[in-house]
């Protein structure tokens, strides 16, 4: 098929976003009382930045996890479900143990966090068995994981709390690094922030290193591009894919549990749940970032930033049509997909690998 040369692509999108931002900043500075000015002052507000970092946690971590699964040849569309189960189980375990207390010198928030990651990993294991060993259609199995999570969270919540929403369990404490937190601009953002933000930043670097600098990373890529060659080279494709899907469960679990305990403090299980499609936004994010973990982290800032600004607008009491403003991140996902639609998926993505064939 012949591609039109004028087809929009990732670079055009970035240039376009840059141009819009530049126009906005100029307008905002020249007319501080206009909408552009108000939005600019909100965007420059430190609390918008900290909110953005917290809101980026589930998107960035789920995206990094999704990169591993999809690079290995297993499209994990069930990441939304993994965020839901990890967030929910982190909250409920913290509640059961009693928030604010600790066991074995570890606060119950951290026990809840660990269980959240574990549950997400178990769901990823189930997904891996279904897709890799039983050769299920990956998209349908992923949808099933999402729908099961969508039912399971309010189901359990209703048993415990008699309501689809859980009780509140409080939040992680901010971790302040002395001296470094005094650095102007970056200090309050990166060194005086709740723990899940550190986890997100560390995971992005770790994910990048693992994928691009280790033998395992090369196997993951080969397993998605040409599993047969990897097999011939003596590496067990099945094991590589299992590990990659489990990694997606671990990363998504870190994101879901961290988001729940660091930002939500409670879990609303009605409708689309408190996760509200962030797992799907994560998929758009890694396509946007062309499977680059650091790029996915930066991409998540775009969506989280939009959401943070919307929160700030409401907090400051501006009369905005909330329901409509809330759809902006979702609409942005569509715009991004239109620009990066022709992202090249790994050659063998979506296919079960059958080593016995031929």
Partner 1 sequence: MRDDLERLLERLIHASVAERVAISVAALFAAILVGGVLVFVSGGFASCRAGLDLAGVTFCYNPIQVYYELFLGSLGHPLEGDWSPMNYSLATTLRQTTLLIFAGLSVAVAFRAGLFNIGTQGQLVIGGLLTAVTVLFAASYVPGGFVGTVLLIPIGVLAGAVGGGLYGAIPGALKAYAGANEVITTIMLNFIAAGVASTLLSWRFQDPDSANPQTRAIPEYAEIPNVPVVGFSGRMDFSLLALGFAVALMIGIAWLLARTSFGYELRTSGIQPKAAAYGGVDEKRMTVASMTLSGALGGIAGAFWVLMEHGRWLENVPALGFDGIAVSILAGNNPLGVGAAAFLFGVLSSGSNAINTATDVPPELVGVLSGLIILFVAMPEFFRMMGRRYADVGGPERTRSTGGEADD
Point out which residues bind partner 1 (CB under 8 A).
Answer: 8, 75, 77, 130, 134-141, 143-152, 154-156, 158-160, 164, 269, 272, 276-277, 280, 283-284, 287, 321, 323-324, 326-327, 330-331, 333-334, 337-339, 341-342, 345, 349-351
CB of 139 to partner 1, least distance (A): 6
User: Which one, 30 or 331, has the nearer CB to partner 1?
Assistant: 331
Q: Which is nearer to partner 1, 138 or 166 (CB)?
A: 138
H helix runs in 179-268, sequence order: 186-190, 195-213, 215-225, 227-232, 237-259
Residues contacting residue 118 through CB under 8 Å, at least 6 positions apart: 253
How near is the Cβ of 304 to partner 1 at its closest, in Å?
16
Of 149 and 222, nearer to partner 1 (C-beta) is: 149
CA distance 219 to 211: 9
Q: Nearer Cβ to partner 1, position 187 or 277?
A: 277
**Taking the complex as a whole, how short is the minimal distance between the CB of residue 105 and partner 1, in angstroms?**
27
Residue with smaller CB distance to partner 1, 172 or 286 = 286
- For 186, counting Cβ atoms within 10 Å of its Cβ (0-12 exposed, 13-18 middle, 19+ buried), the class is exposed
Beta partners for residue 193, in sequence order: 175
Q: What tokens does 337 get? A: 């997909």
Give the number of residues written for the chain. Answer: 358
How many angstroms separate the Cα of 121 from the Cα of each of 39, 94, 118, 247, 316?
A: 40, 18, 5, 8, 39
Residue 286 to residues 65, 71, 82, 88, 234, Cα–Cα distance (Å): 10, 11, 16, 24, 30
Tell me whether residue 244 or residue 333 sits nearer to partner 1 (CB atom). Answer: 333
Least Cβ distance, residue 130 to partner 1 (angstroms): 5
Specify the residue, 140 or 233, whose C-beta has the smaller distance to partner 1.
140
CB of 260 vs partner 1, minimal distance in Å: 19
**Nearer CB in complex with partner 1: 104/134:** 134
Shortest CB 142 distance to partner 1, Å: 9
| Residue among 27 and 345 whose Cβ is closer to partner 1 | 345
Q: Minimum distance between the CB of residue 291 and partner 1, rounded to whole angstroms? A: 14
Q: 237-247: b or e for each residue (b if 16 or more CB lie within 10 Å)?
A: bbebbbbbbbb
* Alpha carbon distance 199, 114 (integer Å): 13
CB of 60 to partner 1, least distance (A): 17
Question: Under DSSP, is residue 1 helix (H, G, I), strand (E, B) or coil?
Answer: coil
Number of other CB atoms surrounding residue 7 within 10 Å: 10
In the bound complex, what is the minimum distance in angstroms from residue 266's beta carbon to partner 1? 18
Question: CB–CB of 42/213 below 8 Å?
Answer: no
In sequence order, the 6+-apart residues with CB closer than 8 A to the CB of 52 are 301, 304, 305, 307, 308
């Amino acid at each position: 098929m012949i591609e039109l040369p004028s087809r929009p692509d990732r670079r055009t999108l970035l240039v376009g976003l840059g141009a819009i931002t530049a126009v906005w900043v100029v307008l905002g500075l020249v007319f501080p009382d206009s909408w552009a000015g108000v939005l600019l002052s909100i965007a420059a507000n430190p609390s918008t930045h900290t909110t953005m970092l917290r809101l980026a946690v589930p998107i960035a971590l789920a995206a990094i996890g999704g990169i591993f699964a999809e690079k290995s040849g297993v499209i994990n569309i069930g990441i939304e479900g993994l965020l839901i189960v990890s967030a929910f189980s982190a909250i409920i375990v913290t509640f059961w143990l009693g928030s604010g207390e600790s066991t074995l010198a570890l606060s119950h928030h951290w026990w809840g966090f660990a269980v959240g990651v574990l549950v997400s990993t178990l769901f990823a294991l189930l997904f891996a068995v279904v897709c890799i060993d039983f050769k299920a259609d990956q998209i349908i199995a992923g949808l099933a994981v999402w729908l099961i999570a969508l039912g399971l969270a309010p189901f359990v919540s209703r048993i415990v709390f008699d309501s689809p929403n859980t009780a509140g369990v409080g939040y992680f404490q901010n971790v302040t690094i002395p001296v470094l937190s005094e650095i102007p601009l970056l200090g309050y953002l990166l060194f005086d922030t709740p723990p899940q933000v550190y986890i997100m930043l560390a995971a992005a670097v770790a994910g990048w290193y693992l994928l691009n600098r280790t033998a395992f990373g090369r196997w993951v890529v080969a397993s998605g591009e040409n599993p047969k060659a990897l097999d011939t080279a003596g590496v067990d494709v099945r094991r590589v894919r299992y590990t990659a899907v489990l990694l997606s469960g671990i990363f998504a679990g870190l994101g879901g549990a961290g988001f729940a305990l660091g930002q939500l403090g409670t879990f609303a299980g009605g409708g689309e749940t408190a996760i509200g499609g962030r797992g799907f936004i994560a998929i758009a994010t890694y396509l946007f970032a062309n499977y680059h973990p650091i790029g996915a982290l930066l991409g998540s800032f775009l969506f989280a930033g939009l959401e943070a600004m919307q929160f700030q607008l409401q907090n400051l009491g501006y009369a905005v049509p909330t329901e409509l403003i809330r759809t902006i991140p979702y609409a942005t996902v569509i715009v991004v997909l239109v620009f990066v639609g022709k992202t090249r998926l790994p050659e063998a993505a979506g296919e079960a690998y059958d080593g016995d064939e031929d």
